[in-house]
């Protein structure tokens, strides 16, 4: 099924298989393609009534529910772009994001409306708010739209078709300046990726996909649009359940999920504590993971418990979505300890590995990976200098996105990940600028120096340790410090560990000596 815009997938499946289940929540709530299409039409009509048009942005401050997905498709149908926020993160972050991209409207959970309004006001922003009381099953969205229609009916309109380069969504990622930055992505960017997913997975209407990633995370693009293209079913997994290995394993089995996609950390947790040997997973045919390195010992344990699916390591920053892929050959040898490669560049993209002088390196030499092609972002929202610096233009006029990741390419064009050029890390699949955590710590009145280091624990999981020097040289309460950070950062960015110093070690140029801190850790 082909489409020129993302909402075309939903419309086509609603025509082809109107009674097929499109979405299902972890309980019994579900909606078929015909009703999802109709509900998103009502969202479209309301937004157009509010004056939302092509190129506008509409925010989402909601948990992952049927209501949220219907809102996303409705936003796209009126020609606008959606801007998802983390509903579990501090409202200071959501307020900044939604004000930064000047949203016209916001769908918000009733429990967060007041806090969001306060934060928006600090940025002199006052978008129209569509309030949903207890989102779930689509009922809260229906009730909100009915209430608004009772006040001022929104007449039925027509869906606006998008051009390939039209903005579809903005995903905000951690920024090195201490402020998140918005990655601008078009319908064409996503459709190139979904087409590639279709080639890899060969999905059908009989498949059942997982939706483990939150909608502000780029893994959600595969989850949302690949099943919609093929009339398949999507299981929406709430964040709290997504971290509980026992109940999550039961859900995968009972819902007969056939295509799973998540960061490796949750798969490791399932292998260790999900008691997988007691359940039936016969429908599971693909296990996809991305966002961080999967320790081989943990991957081997999972494949022994789930021996029949195909496994693929997908790699790519938000700016390109997936740009390389490597299928794991099974069984995994007992003596293998090194992580598997990230694979060759995807067939619809091009890759270039360069040295610090921007010259292409020989195969076998380490260099920075650059990517060009249809997946690659348009730039960063309202950050022209950062957008320009993110690309390398070669003599043939090609713009290559600089991933900042160091790789080595072998003779078969298979890439292995080496590390980062800068201080960005990936933890549980989330991209984190350590500088953003440090910026937060520096706002504490008692902290005079702060640096953060990423370390691996005994199980191979990444943890963040904050090294701190205080005003009076005293240790601060760890509980109070974590509370301070959690009020300003998403939970996945709150440091796991803290270490106190009289003063942080310095280099000869009076900069913090990160190498010495790493040795200490």
- Residues 374 and 403 placed together within one structural domain of the fold: yes
Q: Is the pLDDT reported for residue 474 higher than 60?
A: yes
Please give the pLDDT value at position 1.
Answer: 63
What tokens were used for 414? Answer: 């298979």
The residue with tokens 């049927």 is 66
**171 inside domain:** yes
CA torsion angle 239 240 246 248 (round to 10): -30
For the beta sheet containing 497-501, the strands, ordered from the edge strand earlier in sequence to the opposite edge, are 447-456, 462-470, 497-501
**134 with 88, same domain?**
yes
Domain enclosing residue 505, as ranges: 427-520
CA dist., res. 54 & res. 474, Å (int) = 55
Is residue 305, in this structure, part of any structural domain at all? no
Confirm whether 117 is domain-assigned: yes
Indicate the residue among 239, 259, 283 that finishes a domain.
Answer: 239
Statement to judge: residues 75 and 220 lie in one domain: yes
Judgement on whether residues 475 and 368 belong to the same structural domain of the protein: no
Same domain, 52 and 148: yes
Distance between CA atoms of residues 424 and 441, nearest Å: 17
Shared-domain flag, residues 377 and 446: no
Query: Does 373 map to a domain?
Result: yes
Q: Is the pLDDT of residue 35 over 90?
A: yes
Q: What is the percent of the chain with per-residue pLDDT over 90, rounded to a whole number? A: 79
pTM: 0.88
Which residue is associated with the tokens 């590995």? 353
pLDDT tens digit sequence for 202-218: 999 999 999 999 999 99
- 431 and 404 Cβ atoms separated by less than 8 Å: no
Q: Which two tokens stand for residue 351?
A: 């890759």
Domains of the chain: total: 3
In a domain, 344, yes or no: no
Report d(CA 98, CA 182) in Å as an integer.
Answer: 10
Residue 395, pLDDT > 90, answer: yes
SS3 annotation, 399-424: EEEEEEEEEEECCCCCEEEEEECCCE
Same structural domain for residues 98 and 209?
yes
pLDDT of residue 514: 80
Asked if residue 292 is part of any domain, the answer here is no
pLDDT of 425 strictly over 70: yes
Closest listed residue to residue 394, CA positions, set 425, 424, 350, 427: 350
Contacts of 134 (CB under 8 A, 6+ apart): 110, 140
So what's the pLDDT on residue 508? 46
Q: What is the pLDDT of residues 339-391, one digit of tens each?
A: 899 999 999 999 999 999 999 999 999 999 999 999 999 999 999 999 999 99
* 138 and 66 in a common domain: yes
In this structure, are 476 and 355 located in the same domain?
Answer: no
The residue from 218, 239, 260 where one domain ends is 239
**What is the rounded distance in angstroms from the CA atom of residue 186 to the CA atom of residue 72?**
14
Instruction: Flag whether pLDDT at 510 surpasses 60.
Output: no
98 and 182 co-located in one domain = yes
Here the CATH number for the domain that contains residue 399 is 2.30.38.10
Mean pLDDT of 436-463: 86
In a shared domain, residues 402 and 432? no
User: What CATH number does residue 498 fall under?
Assistant: 3.30.300.30
Question: Domain end: 392, 420, 448, which one?
Answer: 420
Tell me, yes or no, whether 35 and 147 share the same domain. Answer: yes
Whether pLDDT at 176 is above 80: no
DSSP 133-163: SS--TTHHHHHHHHHHHHHSPPPP--PPPPP
CATH code of the domain covering residue 139 = 3.40.50.12780
Residue 134 lies in a domain: yes
């Amino acid at each position: 099924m082909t489409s020129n815009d993302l909402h075309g997938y939903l419309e086509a499946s609603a025509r082809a298989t109107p009674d097929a289940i499109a979405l299902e929540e972890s309980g019994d709530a579900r909606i078929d393609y015909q009703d999802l299409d109709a509900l998103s039409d009502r969202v479209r009509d309301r937004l157009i009534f509010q004056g939302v048009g092509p190129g506008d942005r509409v925010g989402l401050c909601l948990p992952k529910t049927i209501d949220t997905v219907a809102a996303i498709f409705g936003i796209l149908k009126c020609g606008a772009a959606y801007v998802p926020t983390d509903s579990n993160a501090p409202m200071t972050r959501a307020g900044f994001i939604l004000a930064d991209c000047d949203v016209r409207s916001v769908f918000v959970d009733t429990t967060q409306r007041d806090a969001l309004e306060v934060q928006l006001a600090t940025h002199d922003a006052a978008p129209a708010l569509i309030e949903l009381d207890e989102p779930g099953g689509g009922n809260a969205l229906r009730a909100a739209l009915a209430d608004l229609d009772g006040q001022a009916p929104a007449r039925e309109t027509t869906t606006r078709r998008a051009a390939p380069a039209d903005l579809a969504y903005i995903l905000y990622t951690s920024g090195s300046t201490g402020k998140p930055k918005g990655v601008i992505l078009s319908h064409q960017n996503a459709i190139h990726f979904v087409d590639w997913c279709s080639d890899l997975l060969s999905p059908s209407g009989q498949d059942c996909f997982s939706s483990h990633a939150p909608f502000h995370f780029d893994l959600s693009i595969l989850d949302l649009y690949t099943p919609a293209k093929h009339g398949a079913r999507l299981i929406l997994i709430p964040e709290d359940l997504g971290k509980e290995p026992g109940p999550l394993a039961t859900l995968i089995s009972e819902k007969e999920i056939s295509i799973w996609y998540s960061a490796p950390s949750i798969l490791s947790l399932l292998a260790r504590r999900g008691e997988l040997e007691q359940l039936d997973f016969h429908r599971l045919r693909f296990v996809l993971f991305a966002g961080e390195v999967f320790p081989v010992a943990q991957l081997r344990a999972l494949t022994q418990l789930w021996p029949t699916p195909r496994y693929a390591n997908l790699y790519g920053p938000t700016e390109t979505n997936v740009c390389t892929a490597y299928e794991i050959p099974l069984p995994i040898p007992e003596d293998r300890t090194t992580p598997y490669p990230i694979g060759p560049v995807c067939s619809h993209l091009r890759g270039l590995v360069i040295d610090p002088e921007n010259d292409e390196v020989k195969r076998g030499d380490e260099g920075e990976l650059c990517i060009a092609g249809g997946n690659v972002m348009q730039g960063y929202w309202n950050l022209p200098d950062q957008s320009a610096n993110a690309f390398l233009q070669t003599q043939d006029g090609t713009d290559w996105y600089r991933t900042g990741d160091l790789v080595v390419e072998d003779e078969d064009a298979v890439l292995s990940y080496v590390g980062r050029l800068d201080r960005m890390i990936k933890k549980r699949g989330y991209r984190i600028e350590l500088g953003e955590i440090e910026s937060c710590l520096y706002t504490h009145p008692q902290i005079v120096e702060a640096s953060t280091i990423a370390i691996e624990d005994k199980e191979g999981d990444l943890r963040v340790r904050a090294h701190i020097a205080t005003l009076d040289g005293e240790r601060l309460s760890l509980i109070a410090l974590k509370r301070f950070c959690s009020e300003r950062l998403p939970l996945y960015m709150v440091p796991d560990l803290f270490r106190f110093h009289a003063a942080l070690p310095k280099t000869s140029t009076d900069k913090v000596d990160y190498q010495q801190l790493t040795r200490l850790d």
